[in-house]
Structure 1
Amino acid sequence: MKFGLFSLMSLRDNPGGIRGVLSDTRRMVRLAEEIGFDAAWFAEHHFTNNSVSASPLAVAANMAAVTSRIRLGSAVLVLPLYHPLRLAQEIAYVDQVSDGRLVLGVGTGYQPFEFARYGTGVETRTEHFIECWDVLEQALAHGHVEYEGSFFSIPSTNLMMRPVQQPLPDLYVASSNLDVLRRLVPAGGKPFVQVGWLGSKVLAKKVADMHEVWGKAGFSHRPMHVAVQQYVHVCDTAVEALEAAERARFVARMIDALRSPHLAFEGYKVQAPLLKDEPPLEVFRDNLVIGHPHYVAERLIEEFRTLKPDYYNCFFQFGDMPIARAQRSLARFGSEVLPLIEKELGPLNQLGATEPALLRAS
């Protein structure tokens, strides 16, 4: 079992503004490294305060300079928004500058507002994604590209900049599309599953659905190594738990609003309406892993037994949560929650993996 730290990097009420969000992220990543997390993951979003991370690779390069061991991941690179040759060089650069610590998470994207402003259509995102990956794989794994497709026409090109990790960095795929999986699983792609605020029960169904899709894609003969993502907040009081739930609700409203091509703004901030049939805060709290250390440990033990993930990505600083509270939650996760889980389930670096060759110390 490997643990990751996810950073969406929303800007809501951070007293330091954009620089405050960046500073908070550095502090969380350094703490996650001290605790022993495997990787820190950075989102990609554009043009709104949903995230200040327009380039997860740029954030990863910055974090490489202030860390030494923790791996640095893109969660995820929205491939249809890139020219693949430029992206291939940036991927290789970050892997070089981090001494081979890059983890590559890729996806098709889903926000029409972003796609329209990059001059591409969300309706062709799957085909666009696959062509971009075709070029990326040639560039990263072979150092040479020659390609003719519907979206990209690339003459014979040799690339000087190659990743340290060959043939490719560790690869995760945030998609259940059959064509995407059929293309990326042979390259080592592992599914990355998350359901946002809907929480544990829906996450279990999504993982079960992914197993079904895995079989339909023709991979029943090989084990499915799945990564999941969950909101986590360690606290002591009911008031703190509901305050965390309100931060999660902010993210949920924002993400739901961004599924529309038409957004309402106040300055650069999206004015996200209530969710359709929005439940009370207590439902957000109960869906997510929010509570005192023993409760959090119990919830995670249940999820590990049900989902059997190889990778558990934790979203601690959601909704621009004040850094002191987010750091305290992460620190207590390391000092109080993880020991309780190990007491019940045994060494964490032996959980979840189905092939010994894939084990990696957490």
Structure 2
Amino acid sequence: MKIGLRYDMRAPDLGPNSPSPAALYEAAVEQCKWADTQGFDSVYLAEHHGAEDNYCPSPMILGAAIAGSTKKIRVHFSALCITMHHPLRLAEDLAVVDLIAGPGRTLVTAGMGYLPHEFDMFGVDYQNRAEVFERTLGILQEAWSGEEFEFRGRKVRVTPRPVTPGGPTLYIGGNAKPSARRAARLGLGYRPATKDLYSHYEAECEKAGRPSSEAFPEHGPAFFHVTEDPEKALACLAPHLIHASNMYAQWATKRENAAVNGYWSHKDSIAEIRSDPNMWIVTPDEAVERCRSLGADYELRIHPLLGGSAPEISWESLELFAERVLPHLSYQRADAIEHP
């Protein structure tokens, strides 16, 4: 299997001991530097705007900091709300991240966005967001050729070219069947919320005579924390995990397909965290047992700072994971992967 990190950089104010956004960003970069030495495959960075809990609005800047501090770990923007960006500036920024990271280390799962206030914030037509989304995807691909092309009636050129031929790897994200059909029609990879959607994508690719090139990327859990004392850790982490789960569940109700919600559900108590099969707060021995039960193609994604959890607590878990769990696992190290 592969092992990755994920950050959304939520930094809610849950009391006087809540970490500041500055402390969380510093920890995220340092943890990625550490993960790079451990052979972790990818770090996933998310994007939303105008969030009350400081959700990361600028993953490309965070990604550049991580790329410049590491050598092997891939930086995967997932999802990057491409409809919220000026397409030429987006192409430039991603090209520069790619140059900093080196060939094959920058990946983008392009998201259309679903929160109406974000479209209002940037003056983007919510009703025509699918058209804006597809147009932006096309502009990125043209821009990364380094050649002159027409943009809004003018001839333009985006320089410098990305170091990766053709630019960063592009996927389409989604929570409904239209996104699967769109990815198949455009000949792009697909990173949906569910395996059922991926099956629909595979069927659409087959119809188009263009079979998908990879299997559905099974991954999880929602939260993974290794500790010698799960109950003590749960007491410290619960306010942050409840906050994150409730915010994601609340946002999901704003989607057109609200039934697709991944791991997240509304929670009111520690007991609900404890009983959630997607929240793993486990001892090292339990972690080894659970990880060994995962499939060979599974990606274990660790979300160390979920809900603004304290960096020192997340560091304890990561270091215990490296010391007591990793030696017992068979995993594909990033330095053994040949990136394109």
TM-score class, shorter-chain normalisation, is 0.7 to 0.9
- Alpha-carbon offset, residue 293 of structure 1: 1.8
Q: 1:132 is paired with a residue of what secondary structure?
A: helix
The 2-side partners of 1:77 and 1:117 are apart by 16
- Other-structure match for 1:169: 168
Q: Which amino acid aligns with 2:216?
A: V
For residues 215-242 of structure 1, give each alpha carbon's deviation from its aligned partner in whole angstroms, at most 9, with x where no partner exists. 3423484454333343211112223135
- Alpha-carbon offset, residue 164 of structure 1: 0.6
Distance 1:278-1:160 versus aligned 2 partners, 3 A rule? closer
The 1-side partners of 2:107 and 2:2 are apart by 13
Distance 1:284-1:89 versus aligned 2 partners, 3 A rule? same
Percentage identity across aligned positions?
23
The 1-side partners of 2:34 and 2:249 are apart by 31
Q: Please report the TM-score for the alignment, with normalisation by the length of structure 2.
A: 0.81
Distance 1:277-1:136 versus aligned 2 partners, 3 A rule? closer
1:283 aligns with 2:282: no
Q: 1:290 is paired with a residue of what secondary structure?
A: strand
Q: Which amino acid aligns with 1:283?
A: E
Distance 1:298-1:210 versus aligned 2 partners, 3 A rule? farther
- Other-structure match for 1:128: 132
- Alpha-carbon offset, residue 165 of structure 1: 0.6
> 1:18 is matched with which residue: 21, 30, 49?
21
1:5 aligns with 2:22: no
Q: CA-atom RMSD, angstroms?
A: 2.9
- Other-structure match for 1:213: 200
The 2-side partners of 1:298 and 1:49 are apart by 38
- Alpha-carbon offset, residue 69 of structure 1: 2.9
Distance 1:312-1:279 versus aligned 2 partners, 3 A rule? same
**How many equivalent pairs are there?**
315
For residues 288-310 of structure 1, give each alpha carbon's deviation from its aligned partner in whole angstroms, at most 9, with x where no partner exists. 222112222333333426xx43x
1:331 aligns with 2:319: yes
Q: Please report the TM-score for the alignment, with normalisation by the length of structure 1.
A: 0.76
- Other-structure match for 1:225: 215
Distance 1:90-1:40 versus aligned 2 partners, 3 A rule? same
Q: 2:293 is paired with a residue of what secondary structure?
A: helix
Map of 1:213-362 to 2, 5 A cutoff?
Answer: 213-219=200-206, 221-227=211-217, 228-230=219-221, 231-237=223-229, 238-258=231-251, 278=267, 280-285=269-274, 286-287=276-277, 288-304=279-295, 308-309=297-298, 311-342=299-330, 348-349=331-332, 360=338
Q: Which amino acid aligns with 1:213?
A: H
- Other-structure match for 1:108: 112
Q: Which amino acid aligns with 2:154?
A: P
For residues 177-200 of structure 1, give each alpha carbon's deviation from its aligned partner in whole angstroms, at most 9, with x where no partner exists. 44444444565524254xxxxxxx
The 1-side partners of 2:290 and 2:170 are apart by 28
Q: Which amino acid aligns with 1:349?
A: Q
Distance 1:16-1:240 versus aligned 2 partners, 3 A rule? closer
Map of 1:138-217 to 2, 5 A cutoff?
Answer: 138-141=142-145, 143-146=147-150, 153-184=152-183, 187-193=187-193, 206-207=194-195, 209-217=196-204
The 2-side partners of 1:132 and 1:177 are apart by 20
Say which is worse superposed, 120-129 or 1-10, in terms of deviation: 120-129
- Alpha-carbon offset, residue 321 of structure 1: 0.9
**5+ unaligned residues in a row in structure 2: which ranges?**
255-263
The 1-side partners of 2:253 and 2:188 are apart by 33
